[in-house]
Amino acid sequence: MSEQATAPEYAACDCPEKVDAALERTEAGAGPALLWLVLDEFHPPAVVLPRIKRGLRSRDAQTRANALQSLGHFGRLHRYVDVESLALLRGALRDRTTLGGCQLRGYADDAADDIGVFVPRHRLPRWLRRRHAGPWRPRRLRR
């Protein structure tokens, strides 16, 4: 009987409790499980966003990188991001931890770009609007 490497049970899960358990144990598959949860259309933002914030606070660099990707996807899908997540993102923009030849601030920069493009400008803080905001759309002039 050959022993095959099996994927963890939370690698493609849609169960928030399993994602919580993986994040708590700081397991390697916690980040991909978080991404899967964000992209699953059946979970409301109130279930997903707290888990993204936990991932952004993780000690594991790969989990933080996946949480940043998840935050960008969340902003694209739901057209908003809360203030606490934006504060964590701002801190991640200064994170020089190296992961696979790239720094985590590169992942944060991509997430900020996604949020800047898909979240309405009036919901973004000034620091994000200045550097990462999407196309500016002027108001229509009244005649």
pLDDT given at position 1: 40
Average pLDDT over residues 19-41: 84
Burial of 20 (0-12, 13-18, 19+ CB in 10 A): middle
Distances (CA, A) of 46 to 27, 29, 51, 52, 111: 23, 22, 9, 11, 19
User: Which position has the higher pLDDT, 80 or 16?
Assistant: 80
Residue 79 scores a pLDDT above 70: yes
How many CA atoms does the CB half-sphere of 55 hold within 13 Å? Answer: 31
Residue 22: which pLDDT band, with cuts at 50, 70 and 90? confident
CA distance linking residue 84 with residue 19, whole number of Å: 20
User: Which position has the higher pLDDT, 24 or 77?
Assistant: 77
Q: Which of 12-21, 63-72, 74-83, 109-118 has the lowest mean pLDDT?
A: 12-21
111 contacts 122 by C-beta, under 8 angstroms: no
The model's pLDDT over 113-125, given as tens digits with 9 standing for 90+, comes to 999 999 998 899 9
CA distance linking residue 34 with residue 65, whole number of Å: 11
pTM of the model: 0.83
Contacts of 85 (CB under 8 A, 6+ apart): 49, 52, 53, 56, 71
User: Which position has the higher pLDDT, 124 or 22?
Assistant: 124
